[in-house]
Structure 1
């Protein structure tokens, strides 16, 4: 689907879907959690507004990431048609088995490009995570599910610094990843710049098995939207964002918020986005961040509340 002049106002660009990750990555550094009811309502409102995919939680240990403790309670409240659009973060075959038993069918299997971050985040080496991946794929396929290969710290690592492109390509081409449906390229620290994103996404597209490419960016250094657009132009099919730019990794010093979903949508203008649906996204973000006591980092959300009322994307309320 390409944007049209009516809703874009500029030359049409290559399109990509949005996956909103507010309820997983977005909540990892917040001081408060959302109730099960609030999370369920957020999922349903995002789907109602037109957001095609959602990351709704994680199987991470609740003592390490307390805001993920009610993930399976959220899953239990959703119907299969809703869960078709939702992804759960997993890091072990056991995570997949437990989530599958609860009704999950879309799994994001995460490991890091560097051993140092994988040890901090998951408690094992990158190779050990890869060694366990075939069992995770088998469990996912056993319930007719889908499983993604998610590579954290694809650009930089807080402990090892710059990550060579060849390291990411080696993981992407590892035969133990056979059966994964997507590959998620993560700028975990938000330190990449557009030329780096273009190079890595292009090479993953051209030099690794054919899978849908997902780009997961952070806005730590102010290039979240620019990097997301570079990823789309280079071949990304899906891009991640969080309401209000919430998020960050508790095991990656220096990581801050995700690229804001509002900013990505305003920049990419998918066919389903209208001024009214954009207003709904902004209002949902304001509600979620208000419940959490967090401030929005979204420039587009701030613009939507400006006094420039002649601009159709400004909320007139």
Structure 2
């Protein structure tokens, strides 16, 4: 049977943003110390991260795990060429980020109308338009803004989120000048065919936007969804060390795809990431020890493919 020789359009390199210090730790019961967070951030940068989400500037009662983000931001040793970013929800968050020396912040909204109304009593479009004062402040103070569109592929309250609804939210972000947007599968409901379709269409409709994909591995499709995104032309992906995390405001959401799993897959495919995989595995082991329980990282359980090959070679 001739299966053809068509070469798929795999990228030669991808950019992996480490979101463990924020999206990973925010859903953990264990409260890491400021010193532990600083250590993890600095080790991830040493392992090759060029973009890292260090925490969120939100009310400590809402997300107590992120209460010390101001202190974390002030203590980390900054490395030239590395983008240190944080999540904010409003103008007060941006002001705190600026005071802590953070130059790039991310605003988030849910694409799901049901989820948005349940959490903020506003539609997604109303939420994004309320960010206009944040955009004006950022422009005046030389800060960069990015946007995250949660529940882009599905919602535990609403079910399917139509692409038209995602487009509407994107348009609102573009109105306030945001040029980098993440499509986030907060509930882990995305599938590869849907990801390919959505990404192909948003890239065609909004070619000047830098697109990022953020997947949770709730139903085991995280890395398959990454591959679908790659084939649609996306090269920016979020991931969390040890595969920890989830959204405390999205019922049923579990951990992010593991950074080490994503890096390993890419390297096995000949796709560069700029990361030292062994160094990231060491970070993931430290994270597992700090939080005190096993995680969803496949590499922490099975090791690298090359470990098996080397072990067999040593036995012959």
Give matches, 1:292-307, under 5 Å. 292-304=291-303
Whether contact under 8 Å (1:105, 1:143) holds in the other structure is no
Give matches, 1:94-243, under 5 Å. 94-121=92-119, 124-174=122-172, 177-208=175-206, 210-243=208-241
Whether contact under 8 Å (1:26, 1:246) holds in the other structure is yes
Indicate how the Cα distance of structure 1 residues 278 and 45 shifts in structure 2: closer, same or farther if over 3 A, else same: same
Residue 305 of structure 1: CA displacement? Answer: 7.1
Is 1:271 paired with 2:269? no
Residue 49 of structure 1: CA displacement? Answer: 0.9
2: distance between equivalents of 1:117 and 1:17? 30
Residue 78 of structure 1: CA displacement? Answer: 2.6
2: distance between equivalents of 1:163 and 1:244? 29
2: distance between equivalents of 1:211 and 1:300? 33
For 1:228-264, what per-residue CA distance to the aligned partner results, in whole angstroms no more than 9, with x for missing partners? 1211221223101111110111111110010111111
2: distance between equivalents of 1:175 and 1:298? 33
1: distance between equivalents of 2:173 and 2:47? 39
Structure possessing the higher radius of gyration over alpha carbons = 2
Aligned pairs, number: 302
Deviates more, 1:97-106 or 1:77-86: 77-86
Give matches, 1:245-260, under 5 Å. 245-260=243-258
Is 1:21 paired with 2:22? no
2: distance between equivalents of 1:84 and 1:93? 24
Indicate how the Cα distance of structure 1 residues 72 and 267 shifts in structure 2: closer, same or farther if over 3 A, else same: same
Deviates more, 1:81-90 or 1:152-161: 81-90
2: distance between equivalents of 1:280 and 1:153? 32
Indicate how the Cα distance of structure 1 residues 307 and 179 shifts in structure 2: closer, same or farther if over 3 A, else same: closer
Whether contact under 8 Å (1:151, 1:184) holds in the other structure is yes
The answer for unaligned runs of 5 or more in structure 1 is 1-9
For 1:152-178, what per-residue CA distance to the aligned partner results, in whole angstroms no more than 9, with x for missing partners? 010111211110001001111226643
2: distance between equivalents of 1:303 and 1:286? 13
1:3 paired residue number: none
Deviates more, 1:185-194 or 1:263-272: 263-272
2:85 paired residue number: 87
1:157 counterpart SS class:
coil
Whether contact under 8 Å (1:84, 1:105) holds in the other structure is no
For 1:90-114, what per-residue CA distance to the aligned partner results, in whole angstroms no more than 9, with x for missing partners? 1212211221122111111101112
2:4 paired residue number: none
Residue 129 of structure 1: CA displacement? Answer: 1.6
Task: Give the root-mean-square deviation of aligned CA atoms.
Answer: 2.5
2: distance between equivalents of 1:272 and 1:302? 22
Whether contact under 8 Å (2:30, 2:291) holds in the other structure is yes
Whether contact under 8 Å (2:196, 2:229) holds in the other structure is yes
TM-score, normalization by structure 2: 0.88
